[in-house]
């Protein structure tokens, strides 16, 4: 358990990313209508698109000739043509045509990245392509389950992704930052405590109950005449920054904690944090529900409630980033409720260090 005197690992602008893992690069709807999507991922400019075959392509967004952006180019079949001097690259990144030149050097091309489209998400592997096993992509089955309905979202943060991970690892802030949106009364912070914290090799698992409590505002907007509820949150954070949460609201005293889910309303939350740079982040998310699925306005209301809540977080986190940059010598100090995020930071730091050591060994 973290103590008040314990300082924990703090992200810095020079800190290395974890490369050998899958990150979310885009939603599938961002690649419709022949769009060339320019997106910086882990400090690397990447262009993403769908060719005529319908498969997603990800390449370095920089022509190997003069450094022009391929995202300003043109899709031709599954290839992309640079519209500066006309070099054409196939889906692997290999140069296949140079206007006015018959001889094409066999190694001429740009880097291609392994990509997988699954459940409306486009996943990318930025590390060693030989290690890019699609079986390692985390599964969130509710995204394709007809028994759940949501509305996908995206936000851009001017902050290091670990500050967002910290925020999602911490239920204590709900009562103060989100009193009028996602959290409810301040009582939640004082009375609800984690019933179980599992420190895992790739993150953590936390379960938290709050009994006989006022329902949070976002829930009251979509469920009429709701009274006091027993509330359960089960959170799972995965390295490098993927958050899944199960939320349940049941009428107070109905016995949900004993397995009686009659009358319960449930939600499933998935959030994906992909570093853009050391101080900016891509944030992909969806919030799904399991009731009255015929009413599209419920998903839309929940979407807007989540955006309102995330903007509350965003305001704090982005100013926090500025404060940390203003004094690099400042060291954050942990309190008891920080136990999950402290474990996550240490786990990630160990995995990054192991990856760097592996690269050194290969180079040697």
Q: What is the pLDDT of residues 224-248, one digit of tens each?
A: 888 999 999 899 999 999 999 999 9
Distance separating alpha carbons of residues 112 and 60, to the nearest angstrom: 6
**For 36-80, how does the pLDDT look when each residue is reduced to its tens digit (9 = 90+)?**
999 999 999 999 999 999 999 999 999 999 999 999 999 999 999
The residues near 115 (Cβ < 8 Å, ≥ 6 apart) are 25, 48, 56, 57, 58, 122, 123, 124, 125
187 or 350, higher pLDDT = 350
For the chain, first and last CA: distance in Å? 39
Domains by residue range for the chain, with CATH: 22-126 (2.102.10.10), 139-353 (3.90.380.10)
Whether 121 shows a pLDDT value over 60: the answer reads yes
The residues near 76 (Cβ < 8 Å, ≥ 6 apart) are 88
Question: In three state form, how does the secondary structure of 69-115 look?
Answer: CHHHCEEECCEEECCCCCCEECCCCEEEEECCECCCCCCCECCECCE
Burial of residue 238, with CB atoms counted within 10 A of its CB: 0-12 exposed, 13-18 middle, 19 or more buried: middle
Least confident of 2-16, 241-255, 335-349: 2-16
Whether 101 shows a pLDDT value over 70: the answer reads yes
Residue 182 confidence class, pLDDT cut points 50, 70, 90 = low
Q: Are 2 and 336 in contact (CB under 8 A)?
A: yes
Burial of residue 267, with CB atoms counted within 10 A of its CB: 0-12 exposed, 13-18 middle, 19 or more buried: buried
Q: How many CB atoms lie within 10 A of CB 250?
A: 21
Least confident of 8-12, 152-156, 166-170, 182-186: 8-12
**For 248-301, how does the pLDDT look when each residue is reduced to its tens digit (9 = 90+)?**
999 999 999 999 999 999 999 999 999 999 999 999 999 999 999 999 999 999
Whether 315 shows a pLDDT value over 80: the answer reads yes
Helix (H) or strand (E) holding 281: strand 280-289
Distance separating alpha carbons of residues 228 and 239, to the nearest angstrom: 35
Average pLDDT in the 335-357 region?
A: 88
Q: How many CB atoms lie within 10 A of CB 42?
A: 20
pLDDT of residue 175: 59
Average pLDDT in the 125-140 region?
A: 96
Average pLDDT in the 5-15 region?
A: 47
| Sheet with 153-157: strands ordered across | 153-157, 280-289, 265-277, 242-251, 229-238, 203-213, 194-200
Average pLDDT in the 88-117 region?
A: 97
Residue 337 confidence class, pLDDT cut points 50, 70, 90 = confident
Whether 184 shows a pLDDT value over 80: the answer reads no
Q: Are 217 and 178 in contact (CB under 8 A)?
A: no
Average pLDDT in the 18-46 region?
A: 97
């Amino acid at each position: 358990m973290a103590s008040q005197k314990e300082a924990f690992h703090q992200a810095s602008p020079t800190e290395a990313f974890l490369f050998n893992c899958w990150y979310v690069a885009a939603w599938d709807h961002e690649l419709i209508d022949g769009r060339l999507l320019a997106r910086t991922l882990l400090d690397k400019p990447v262009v993403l698109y769908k060719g005529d075959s319908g498969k997603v392509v990800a390449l370095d967004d920089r022509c190997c000739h003069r450094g022009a952006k391929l995202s300003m180019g043109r899709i031709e079949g599954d290839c992309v043509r640079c519209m500066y001097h006309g070099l054409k690259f196939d889906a692997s990144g290999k140069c296949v045509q140079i206007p006015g030149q018959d001889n094409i050097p066999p190694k001429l091309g740009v880097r291609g990245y392994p990509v997988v489209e699954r459940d409306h998400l486009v996943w990318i592997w930025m590390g060693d392509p030989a290690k890019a096993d699609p079986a390692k992509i985390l599964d969130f089955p509710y995204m394709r389950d007809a028994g759940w309905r949501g509305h996908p979202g995206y936000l851009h943060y001017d902050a290091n992704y670990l500050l967002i991970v910290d925020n999602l690892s911490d239920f204590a802030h709900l009562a103060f930052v989100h009193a009028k949106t996602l959290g409810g009364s301040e009582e939640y912070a004082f009375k609800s405590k984690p019933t179980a914290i599992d420190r895992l090799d790739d993150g953590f698992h936390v379960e938290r109950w709050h009994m006989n409590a006022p329902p949070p505002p976002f829930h009251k907007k979509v469920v009429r005449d709701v009274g006091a509820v027993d509330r359960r949150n089960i959170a799972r954070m995965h390295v490098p920054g993927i958050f899944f949460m199960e939320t349940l609201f049941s009428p107070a005293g109905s016995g949900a904690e004993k397995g009686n889910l009659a009358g319960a309303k449930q939600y499933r939350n998935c959030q994906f944090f992909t570093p853009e740079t050391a101080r900016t982040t891509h944030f992909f998310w969806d919030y799904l529900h399991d009731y009255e699925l015929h009413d599209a306005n419920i998903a839309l209301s929940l979407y807007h409630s989540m955006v309102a809540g995330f903007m509350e977080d965003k305001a704090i986190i982005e100013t926090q980033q500025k404060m940390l940059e203003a004094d690099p010598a400042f060291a954050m100090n942990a309190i008891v409720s920080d136990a999950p995020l402290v474990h996550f930071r240490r786990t990630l730091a160990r995995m990054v260090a192991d990856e760097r050591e592996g690269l050194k060994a290969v180079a040697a």
